[in-house]
Amino acid sequence: MKLLEDAILEKGTILEGNVLKVDNFLNHQIDPALMKALGDEFAREFADKGITKILTVETSGIAPAVFAGLELGVPVVFGRKNKSLTLQDNMFTTSVYSYTKQTSSDISISKDFLSPTDHVLLIDDFLANGQAISGLLSICKSAGASVAGIGIVIEKSFQKGRRIVEETGIPILSLARIKSLDENGLVFIDEEGQ
Ligand code: 5GP
């Protein structure tokens, strides 16, 4: 998606360890117009898939997920990273290892908001090693919910997450796909997938 690629090139910063910093428009300060464009694109792609609910993870998946939910007319549920002890029994919980923070944390979703009748679209800000998406997939499995598709804002295609998702056979749309990211700069995968 050109609008997103332009924002990454203009405002993103490359950090050590193949990490892309995009806190100017996605991870800290949020660009609402861009988030709406991203959400609309996800909604267009998955419009005819019978989606009943969007699932994301706090914090940075929420903005694009809400705009997609608005367009599809479905609720958005975000996995909470700090589970409330009083609600523990009523939660689906899974442990997720964070590539950027190099620590594991629990992601929880209330059993009130996910059920076997749900056909879910998963949305997240980044796909790197696939841990966050795998965690959401395992929560959907626990809930008996089916997964219609996966929407990613920025995919780092050189890491293993894309392969993990492809092995599940679940349709995926990544709005920006990064082929390489290092001290020499950033290269996107083009529309032919090269
Ligand atoms: P994964 O679970 O696929 O390894 O990584 C996904 C999560 O890690 C995302 O939700 C995001 O928070 C974080 N992440 C992974 N790579 C990057 C990166 O290059 N930049 C930023 N800002 N976050 C990243």
The answer to whether position 99 is within a domain reads yes
Residue 194 covered by a domain: no
What's the mean pLDDT in 5-24?
96
145 known member of a binding site? no
Ligand 1: which residues within 6 Å by Cβ?
19-22, 27, 60, 98-100, 124-132, 156, 161
Does 157 map to a domain? yes
Tens of pLDDT, residue by residue over 111-144, are 999 999 999 999 999 999 999 999 999 999 999 9
Is 128 annotated for ligand binding? Answer: yes
**Residue 142 is assigned to a structural domain of this protein:** yes
Tell the residue nearest (CA) to atom 22 of ligand 1: 21
**Total number of domains in the chain:** 1
Domain residue limits at 48: 2-81+90-189
Ligand 1 pocket test, candidate residues 100, 106, 179, 182, most atoms within 8 A of CB: 100
Q: What is the pLDDT of residues 181-193, one digit of tens each?
A: 999 999 999 878 8
Q: What is the CATH number of the domain that holds 122?
A: 3.40.50.2020
Q: Where are the alpha helices (DSSP H) in 105-168?
A: 131-143, 161-168
* Residue 98 confidence (pLDDT): 82
Q: Whole-angstrom Cα distance, residue 76 to residue 74?
A: 7
Q: Select the more confidently predicted residue: 149 or 102.
A: 149
> Average per-residue pLDDT in the chain?
94
Q: Confirm or deny that 37 is annotated as ligand binding.
A: no
Give me the pLDDT at residue 86, please: 56
Query: Among residues 79, 75, 77, 63, which one has the least CA distance to residue 153?
Result: 63
Q: For 81-110, what is each residue's pLDDT tens digit?
A: 875 555 568 999 999 988 778 888 899 999
**Can you tell me the mean pLDDT for 48-62?**
97
Q: What was the pLDDT predicted at 39?
A: 98
